Amino acid sequence: AQKVTQAQTEISVVEKEDVTLDCVYETRDTTYYLFWYKQPPSGELVFLIRRNSFDEQNEISGRYSWNFQKSTSSFNFTITASQVVDSAVYFCALRWGGATNKLIFGTGTLLAVQP
Amino acid sequence: EAGVTQFPSHSVIEKGQTVTLRCDPISGHDNLYWYRRVMGKEIKFLLHFVKESKQDESGMPNNRFLAERTGGTYSTLKVQPAELEDSGVYFCASSQPLYRTRGNTIYFGEGSWLTVV
């Protein structure tokens, strides 16, 4: 079965703190894709990153970084020096290989960055 | 390039009425998807179109939901008759053909917020 778990329901930090959002996934497939999406208060789901199962390199994009570890089935997301504009709900999602492009989402983590 | 657009952004209807949601995918995206998030739960897949054909409709909750994509461009999702438990956010998304390098990236719209009272 495919499953994505985001154990942190809500996180509150003060501006400039670093924060890590956890994502643990389950799949039996050897080929799969992991995603992070951001949902700001305006409502749209903004694509942040896609990582395939054969690429375990960590990625950094500005203040954002992602740590993909197949050994622990985790794909964690770290925001360095958080800002108020980072306040949003963040979703981790899994898509397994094959013709279907169906995403399985976690329940999301609400991040509140206080000034 | 315009993103995925959805209409209406918000809708409040009474139980038993009909609502039709519209989605315009990103130009050139053959794949179109509907997802929904109900009552703060996880976002769940409803169905997937490839052009005008339904590739996967395993997530459609019941026969009160009807999705169409005539001509392979925009899509509509009709709920008839609406029930209280249908309240939530309905997201539309699109992607390039899967054989393309970026075909695995799915882009979402802003969602249509539906409230059934």
Residue-wise pLDDT tens digits, A20-36 = 999 999 998 888 989 99
Which residues 53-72 on chain B approach chain A with CB closer than 8 angstroms?
55-56, 58-59
Say if residue B54's pLDDT is above 90: yes
Instruction: With CA atoms as reference, report the closest residue to B93 among A5, A75, A53, A102.
Output: A102
Interface test with B, best of A48, A89, A101, A104 (most B CBs within 10 A): A101
Q: Provide, as residue numbers in chain B, all residues whose Cβ is less than 8 Å from the Cβ of A4.
A: 42
Query: Strand B75-79 relative to strand B65-68: parallel, antiparallel, unpaired?
Result: antiparallel
As a whole number of angstroms, the distance between CA A41 and CA A46 comes to 11
**What's the token pair of residue A88?**
């949003």
Least confident of A9-13, A19-23, B58-62, B95-99: B95-99
| C-beta separation of B90 from B77 below 8 A | yes
Task: Count how many Cα atoms sit within 13 Å of the Cα of residue A12 in the half-sphere of its side chain.
Answer: 2
Cα angle B106-B108-B113, degrees, rounded to a multiple of 5: 150
Contact indicator for B104, A101 with CB cutoff of 8 Å: yes
Nearest chain A alpha carbon to B105: A50
The angle formed by the CA atoms of residues A86, A95 and B112, to the nearest 5 degrees, is 55
